[in-house]
Amino acid sequence: MNQPSSYLILGGGIAGLMAAHTLQQAGHQVKVFESAKAYLPLGAGIALSSNALKVFSEYSMSDLIIDAGNVCHTLQIKSQRGRVLSSIDMQQMAQRYGHPMVTIHRADLHKLLMEQLQPDTVQLDRHCVSMKQGKNGVSLVFDNGKTASGQFLIAADGLHSQIRKQLHPDSKLRYAGYTCWRGVCNFENARFNSHLNSESWGWGERFGVFPLNNNQVYWFMVKNAPYKDPLMSAFDKDKMLQVFGNWHDPVPQLIEATEETNILWHDILDIRPLKTWGTGRVTLIGDAAHAVTPNMGQGACQGLEDALFLGKCVEKYGATEEALRQYENLRIGRTTKIIEDSWKMGKIAHWENPVMTFFRNWGMKLTPSFMTKKQFDWLCNVDLTV
C-alpha cells in the first residue's frame, strides 16, 4: 500500500463515521468534521437489515450491534385495524443470510461507531461554507474561520449536502408527498411482542412500531400532506390521537406514552438519482450521494455499504482518484434502484382511494412468499467483494 494519506470526511453521521473507520482500518489518516456542536441523545430508532450486519461483521462489529440493539423475529404489514396483510419470519431470514435484522437507537449506534475510531478523529462545530480542490489536495473553510486541508474529501453531509450542490448544482430534492413524526418511548405491556417490527397501512397514513432494547419502542407516523404544511408542523399529541387514536393497539398507547419533546417532525424527501457522484479528489457517500425515502429501511444500510466499498477500493487501488471512481461505479447502480423502488413503494403505501387500498391490501395477502424472499435476496445477499 502507498504511504498513509489524509482523508477529510465532512459529516459525522452513520455513513461518515463508518467511512472513517474503514479508512483507518486501511491505514490512512482521517479527520471527520461534524457541524453539530454536540452529539445529543435525541433522534429515533433505526432498523439495520442483514446487509448492514454483514458490513459490520466484516469489521468484527456485528456482535456489538446485536448486544446494543433488539433482534427482530417477525416483520409484518397490517391494516389500520390490525389485520395482518403480510408476515415474514425474520429468524428464517437470519439463517438464510447469516445475520439478523436489528433495531437500535441512533444515539447508541453513533456511540458505538465513535468508539471504533482513533482518538480525536471527530471535530464538532465545523460547518463548512466552501470547498476547493486542486491537483494535490482539497481544502475546506468553516463558518468559524477555521480551515482544513487533505488529499481527499469524502462528503457525508447528508440530504442537504453543500458539497453535492457544489458538484451537482442541478441536483433536485423531491418531496414524497407525505410528512413524518418519529418518537421513542418507554413501553411495557404483557401482550406486547418486543421482537415484532410492524407497519400498519391506512388511507394515506401509516404507523410503524419498532421495539428497541430496555423496553423502549421507536415509532413513526406518516401522513399525506402538502410540503412544509404549517398545519403539520403544529401537530401535537392531541392532534396525532385525533388521526390515529382509533387505530389498533398499541398505536394510540405509544403516542400517549411519548413525551412531547421526544417527538420529531420532518417532511419526507429524497434526491433524484445522480448519474455521477464525485470528481477529482472528492466523492459523496450516504444521503449526500443517494438520499432515499425510508420505505425499504435501506437509508443507513446503504450508507454502511458505501463505507465498506470505499475502504476496500482504497485498499485495492491505493490513495488515488481511481479508487474513488471505482467505488462510485460499484455503488451507483444499486443505490439508484433502491431510490426508485422505495419511491414507488411509498406511493402505493399512501394510496387514499378506498377501492385501491382494498385491492392493495388484498394483493399483499395473496403475494406468495417466494416473491418476498426474492426481494430480500437482492437486498441482503449483497456481494461485498471488490
CA 317, chain centre distance (Å): 28
Q: DSSP letter for 257, please.
A: T
How many structural domains does the chain have?
Answer: 1
Residue 261 domain-assigned? no
Return the pLDDT at 1: 36
Tens-digit pLDDT profile for residues 75-131: 999 999 999 999 999 999 999 999 999 999 999 999 999 999 999 999 999 999 999
Nearest to 299 by CA among 30, 46, 5: 46
Return the pLDDT at 2: 41
Residue 253 domain-assigned? no
**For residue 83, what is the domain's CATH number?**
3.50.50.60
The mean of the pLDDT values for the chain is: 95
Residue 238 domain-assigned? no
Residue 33 domain-assigned? yes
Burial class, 58, CB count within 10 angstroms (exposed 0-12 / middle 13-18 / buried 19+): middle
Residue 99 domain-assigned? yes
Domain holding 160, by residue range, is 6-173+271-380
How many secondary structure helices (H) and strands (E) does the chain include?
Answer: 14, 18
Q: Which residue has the cell 479528489?
A: 281
- Pairing between β-strand 74-79 and β-strand 196-201 as defined by DSSP bridges: parallel
Residue 211 domain-assigned? no
Residue 61 domain-assigned? yes
Nearest to 71 by CA among 86, 97, 53: 53
CB 207 within 8 A of CB 244: yes
Q: Alpha-carbon distance 247 to 256, whole Å?
A: 13
What one-character-per-residue DSSP string does 144-174 give? TS-EEEESEEEE---TT-HHHHHH-TT--EE
Tens-digit pLDDT profile for residues 244-277: 999 999 999 999 999 999 999 999 999 999 999 9
The CA radius of gyration of the chain, in Å to the nearest whole number, is 21
CA 242, chain centre distance (Å): 29
Q: List phi, psi (to 5°) of 120.
A: 65, 25
Tens-digit pLDDT profile for residues 143-184: 999 999 999 999 999 999 999 999 999 999 999 999 999 999
Residue 204 domain-assigned? no
Return the pLDDT at 4: 63
Return the higher-pLDDT residue of 200 and 372.
200
pTM, rounded to two decimals: 0.96
Nearest to 300 by CA among 53, 26, 30, 39: 53
